[in-house]
Amino acid sequence: MKIGIVGLPNAGKSSLFNLLTKANAQVAKFPFTTIDRNVGMVMIHDERFDRIIEILKPAKATPAAIEFVDIAGLIKGASKGEGLGNQFLSHIRDVDIIVHLLRCFEAADIPLGHSEMQIDPLRDYDIVRTELMLGDLDLVERRLDKIKKKFEVKEEFDKLTKIKESLAKGQVPQSTVPDLPLLSTKQEIIVLNLDEDGAFQTPIQGYRMSVKLEEDICDFDEKEKTELRVSGKLEPGALFGLVKLCMERLSAISFYTIKGEETRAWIIRKGTKVIDAAGMIHSDLKEGFIKAEILDFDGFVKDRGFTQAQHLGHTKIEGKEYIVKDGDIVLIKFRG
């Protein structure tokens, strides 16, 4: 799963990316610092995994991670190639969800990412959303030109025409076409990047946090951090809370594997079959799949481990159609 951080230049995207991934992407007080996208993995805070590790004390523990992408800043006219627009639009097409960061702070030494003279998150939001729709409109028009003389794709042509009409009106299309990666229909989480005291006023609603505050308090203990966030009417969970929100919007769940000296957590979408989860671990497990032995997290804790649960007959055997549940410990049996 891949999460893209988007927004106008100097909204704080690279700083947020650095906080999430500790990847130290270049950050500066001028537009287009991020010329290409930065990619980093964010470890998932998981109390169940911590409990599993506490019980097993494995030689190697690998937490689940989710990919974040810091995408080059966009400006008005990006859909027509202005600034780094073409790169922006191509990079965002392959993410699963958008974190749309809006600047809600004053800073004399950090210029705005456009020609306007004042901070206006609602205007900035509309600029980005408009460019996404215009980019989609261009994509749809090119596809229509390509297939308009092919009678056998009349159904697709009609659907594309309706999508084009919606985009031309500035509306998010209610339907999609397979293999047409529209930007405007992607899930979106609006994040308000506020000043340290959270005092900036804006009518737009979103996840409230201060990137500057998080940079300043990174060495504080968790109680102090939470108190400062709450005093500024910011989300108390900050970075962890944002990652959790992304997981919820993606309908992501966790499952766990224990193999030899390694215990590992994995992220999948809710509703995933166990044979597909096996393929995430290794393609050989999916190709040679025989069955899966499953133990839920509560059973694991109660029996103090997977092996003890097996001895007590508390694990269950499932076939390839089994839907993995959040918290499952999974052992794949396969033909090697």
For residue 211, pLDDT over 90 is answered with yes
Q: What is the reported pLDDT for 33?
A: 44
Domain definitions of the chain by residue range: 2-45+65-135+182-246, 271-334
249 confidence band (pLDDT: 50, 70, 90)? very high
Report the distance separating Cα 201 and Cα 142, nearest Å. Answer: 41
Give, for 139, the enclosing helix (H) or strand (E). helix 121-147
Q: Dump pLDDT digits (tens) for 51-82.
A: 999 999 999 999 999 999 888 666 555 445 54
Least-confidence region, from 24-38, 171-185, 256-270, 288-302: 24-38
Sheet holding 252-259, edge to edge: 60-62, 262-269, 252-259, 329-334, 289-295, 316-318
Q: Give, rounded to a whole angstrom, the gap between the first and last alpha carbons of the chain.
A: 28
Kindly report the CA angle at 168 between 166 and 170, in degrees rounded to 5? 70
Distance CA 228, CA 21 (A): 22
- Which parts of 35-120 fold into alpha helices (H)? 47-56, 85-92
pLDDT at 331: 96
The contacts of residue 146 (CB under 8 Å, 6+ apart) are none
Going by C-alpha positions, the residue among 187, 147, 180 that lies closest to residue 163 is 180
User: What CATH class has 2-45+65-135+182-246?
Assistant: alpha beta
Max avg pLDDT among 72-76, 105-109, 218-222: 218-222
Q: What is the pLDDT of residue 79?
A: 47
Q: How far is CA 53 from the centre of its chain?
A: 26
The token pair that represents 25 in the structure block: 């992407």
Burial degree of 96 (CB within 10 A; 0-12, 13-18, 19+)? middle
**Poorest-pLDDT segment among 81-85, 174-178, 221-225:** 81-85
83 pLDDT more than 70: no
- Alpha-carbon distance of 215 to 100, in angstroms, equals 19
Determine the pLDDT at residue 78: 46
Structure tokens at 308: 């003890």
What would the two tokens of residue 141 be? 């028009």
Distance of CA 279 to the CA centre of its chain: 21
Mean pLDDT in residue range 75-90: 54
- Average pLDDT of the chain is 87
Annotate 309-327 with b (16+ C-beta within 10 A) or e (fewer).
beeeeebeebeeebebeeb
**pLDDT value, residue 297:** 97
The pLDDT assigned to 85 comes to 47
- Residue-wise pLDDT for 276-299, tens only, equals 999 999 999 999 999 999 999 999
Q: For 271-334, CATH number?
A: 3.10.20.30
